[in-house]
Amino acid sequence: MKIEEVIRTVNQMKADRIIANYAIGGAVGATFYLEPVSTLDVDIFIEVHAMAGSSIISLDPIFSYLREHGCKMEGEYIVISGWPVQFLPASGPLLEEALDNAVEVDVDGEPVRVLTAEYLAAIALQTGRAKDKARLLQFIEAHALDRTKFEELVKRHQLVDRWRDFQQQFLNEE
Amino acid sequence: MSFDWQKVSESKQAYRRKLCALPIAEKLRLLDAIRERAVAIRAANHRQGIQVQEQPPDYGKKS
C-alpha cells in the first residue's frame, strides 16, 4: 500500500477534470508538518458543486472513474493502492477557505496539495473529538503553527470559546 | 536501580523532533509501514473479539 500512488491517482483525476481542486487533510495532511502517526485512511477535501437544478452533491463521477481504474469501494471509502480514501466536500466557510489556501508540496517529483498547518489545527479545534484535540496539541508542542495566523482563523470562524476552553484545559494559558 | 525520567523524556522529544524533520517522502513511507502494522493488529484483535471504535469526524459542524 502506498500513499504516493494515492497522490498520483488524485493528480490524474484533476488532470482528467474529474475533480477541480483538492487538498489532503486529516492525519495524513498533519504528517506534512508533524511526526508520522498511525492512521487508517486518507481524507481528501474537494471542491464540489451541486448538480444543476438540484441541491444534492454527488460523488458518483469520482467513484465511477476510480472503479474504472480498478479501485474498489469499501463502505464509504474507495480503496486506492491499499489505502481507504474518503473524498469530503469542503462544505462550510472554514473548509472552503482551507481548500482555497492549500499549499502545493513536492513529494519525490510529484506535486500534492495539502491544507496548511493553521487550517488543519483550526479544523481539529472545530471538529473537537479527543483525537482532534490531541492533534492540535501536537501542532502546538511541535511549534508547527504560526500562532498569529491560527488565532486569526479562530476569531474569523467563531472558535474563540473553543480555543479558550482548550487553552485552559491543556496549556494553562488564557 | 533508578531511571532518569528527565533523560528518557528528553530522548523521546529529540526522537519526535527528528521524525518531524524527515523529508516528506520518507514520512509518507513511514505512514505506509505504520498502517500495514495497524491493519495487522486490528485483524488480530478482531479474531480475538476485541473491537476498537473510532468516532467519525463531523467536519464543518458549527461551533
Note the pLDDT of residue B1. 59
Cβ neighbours for B62, distance < 8 A, ≥ 6 positions apart? A92, A158
Q: B25 near A108, Cβ under 8 Å? A: yes
Q: Report how many domains make up chain B.
A: 1
State the cell numbers at B55: 468516532
Note the pLDDT of residue A111. 96
Average pLDDT, chain A: 92
Query: Which residue type sits at B51?
Result: Q
State the cell numbers at A65: 472513474
What are the tens digits of pLDDT across the range B6-31? Answer: 999 899 989 999 999 999 999 999 99
When pLDDT is cut at 50, 70 and 90, the band that residue A154 belongs to is: very high
What are the tens digits of pLDDT across the range A76-133? Answer: 899 999 999 999 999 899 999 999 999 999 999 999 999 999 999 999 999 999 999 9
Q: Kindly identify which residue of chain B lies nearest to residue A98, measuring between CA atoms.
A: B60
Is residue B55 predicted with pLDDT exceeding 80?
no
Round to whole Å and give the CA distance between A45 and A47. 7
List the domains of chain A with CATH numbers.
3-115 (3.30.460.40), 118-171 (no CATH)
Provide the domain limits for residue B43.
23-48
Note the pLDDT of residue A52. 59
Round to whole Å and give the CA distance between A118 and A100. 13
CB contact under 8 A, B63 and A4: no
Q: How far is B2 from chain A (nearest CA, A)?
A: 28
Round to whole Å and give the CA distance between B14 and A20. 40
Q: How far is A43 from chain B (nearest CA, A)?
A: 10
Note the pLDDT of residue A83. 95
Q: Is the pTM of this model over 0.90?
A: no
ipTM: 0.85
* A156 beta partners: none
Note the pLDDT of residue A49. 67
Cβ neighbours for A88, distance < 8 A, ≥ 6 positions apart? A25, A43, A44, A45, A46, A95, B59
Q: For residue B62, is it within any domain?
A: no
Q: For residue B14, is it within any domain?
A: no
How far from A6 is each of A3, A26, A146, B33, CA to CA, in Å? 5, 15, 29, 15
